[in-house]
Every structure is written in structure tokens, then in C-alpha cells.
A and B are shown apart, each in its own frame.
Chain A
Amino acid sequence: MVWAYVLGIMPAMSGMFTSFVRFEAVFPLFLALGASLGKPGRGWALASALGISLALHVWLLWRFVNFDWAG
């Protein structure tokens, strides 16, 4: 909780979201997602979350490698 607060919530409340997407070190978020969406019977929610994540990943990657977005 301390870690998630320091890396996730505090920068979001005190900044302009610059480079916020790079705070992937907020690893408790992924544990929470895995625990909540990885349960049986939540296939659609899991697939939707992963699909959105992958689509955003590809879009931002393409912009990043072409000097169009810095993170």
C-alpha cells in the first residue's frame, strides 16, 4: 500500500500526469488486476482489459519510436 501510494497516487495528485504512464513500477496494480480479473467466469472482463492494454501499448509504441510521444 505504501509503495502504491508513493508511486501511483502521489504523482497523480501532485503533477500534470507527465510521464505518468511510465509508472509501471506500481506493481501492486498488476497483482490486483491479476487477482480480480483472473478468476474463473471473468473471461470477458479479462480479455477486454488485456485487449485495451495491448491496443494502447501498440499505439503508444509506434508514436514513441517515431518521435511523436515521449511518455
Chain B
Amino acid sequence: MVGLASRGLRADYIWKLLYLGVLWVALGLWGDIEEARFRGVMMHWPRDGGPVFASHFATWDGAHYLYLSEEGYGPGLRSNAFYPLYPLLVRWTSALTGGSHLIAGMALANLFSLLGWVLFYEVARRRSGPEMALWATVFLVLFPGSLFYQFVYTEGLFFLLLMLVWMGMERKRYSWVCAAAFLLPITRAIGWSGRMCWGSCRR
């Protein structure tokens, strides 16, 4: 099992390196940001000045999460709609990345999603065998919405917590379930449903 998980981790890690590497090169060659589009969004990063190359990696909600990690919540902000756990972790981790919240956010998002994918493979393998688990993981990774796992979004953290709930329930490790189910609703609004599912399963 450790060998399989280790191979899965390595494969997912290589996929992420290739993904971000190819994207980096493609953006470097063709990816100038139109100023009007950059200015047209509610929140952009960096907040002062025009778009820079790194703005490609902090689009849309990512800019809100970066704002929250850098400045925190405040009255009347649109960013208040976003949940606190991920920006808080980005803030803490930025101490390790020379104060760069963007690098911290990218690193955390990719680390969390990497671990989430490995746990997904593991629980699927235990339930349905290695071949089905492999294809299920490939579908998960290639799914169009999975692009958010690579950026400053909460999807990676949310999915990892969700997998901890699932794995904990399967292995009857209720301390994992309890911790993850507590953190889910402060990661994303839909996290309440994770707690609801746990509650229904306990009954």
C-alpha cells in the first residue's frame, strides 16, 4: 500500500510540475494580459499598478484570497464573502516564502490537492481495486474544473479535507473525521454538507 501511494504521489507530482511548467512557458510566449480585462474584475493582483506576469496565477477569486491573507477582513469588503481557513494558512506560510503570499498560496494549493488526489486513489483502491481507482483518479485530474487545484483557490484544501472525512469514516478513525468536518465549513460554504453527510452516516 505504501508503495502504491508513493508511486501515485510521484505521478501526481510530475503531472503538476509538467502542468505548471507548460503553462508558464505558454504564458511567457503568448499570454499578455489585456489591461481592460485586468481592470474589469472586482479584485486584481497586484492591487496597485498594472498587470504583471504573475497576475496570470492570481486571477478572479485568487486575488480575493490574496487580499484576505495580506490585509484581513474589513467592513464593506467584497472579499468578506470568502471563507477564512485558506487565507489564514497562506498568511502563516508566507513567512516561509520570503513574504510572498502568491507563492505561499500556490504552494499550499498544489500540496493540498496533491495529497487529496493520493488519498482519493487510496480510498477508491480499497473499495474497488487498483484499476478502477487509477481511472477514477485520471478522470478527477483531467476534469475541466480540476484546473482550480493548481491556483490560489480553496479547492485543493477542501478536497483534501473531504478525503480525510471519507478515509476516516472507512477506517473508523473518527478523530480524523471530526477534525476535517470541523474545518470544512470554514474552508468553503458548501463545507456544511460534509458535516451533514458525516452526521447522517453516524446515525
Q: What residues make up the interface of A, taking CB atoms closer than 8 Å to B? A: 2-3, 6-7, 21-25, 27, 29-31, 33-35, 37-38, 46, 49-50, 53-54, 56-57, 60-62, 64-68, 70-71
Contacts and interface: CB of A to CB of B under 8 A. Distances in A.
Q: Is the interface of B mostly helix, strand, loop or mixed?
A: helix
A44 B169 CA distance: 36
Interface in B134-159: 134-140, 142-149, 151, 155, 158-159
Contacts of A66: 31, 33-34, 37, 56
Given A7-B193, A68-B37, A60 B60 contact: no
Nearest to B150: A61
B197 A35 contact: no
Interface residues of B, number: 47
Interface string B10-42: 000000000000010011000101100110110
Contacts of B183: none
Contact of A22 (B27, B57, B120, B145): B145
Contacts of B128: 31, 34-35
| Chain B CB within 10 A, most for which of A33, A37, A54, A71 | A71
B85 interface: no
Majority DSSP secondary structure for residues of A touching B: helix
A39 B134 CA distance: 12
Contacts of B37: 66-68
Interface string B185-200: 0000010010011001
A22 B23 contact: no
A2 B142 contact: no
Given A38-B132, A57-B143, A67-B41, A25 B158 contact: yes
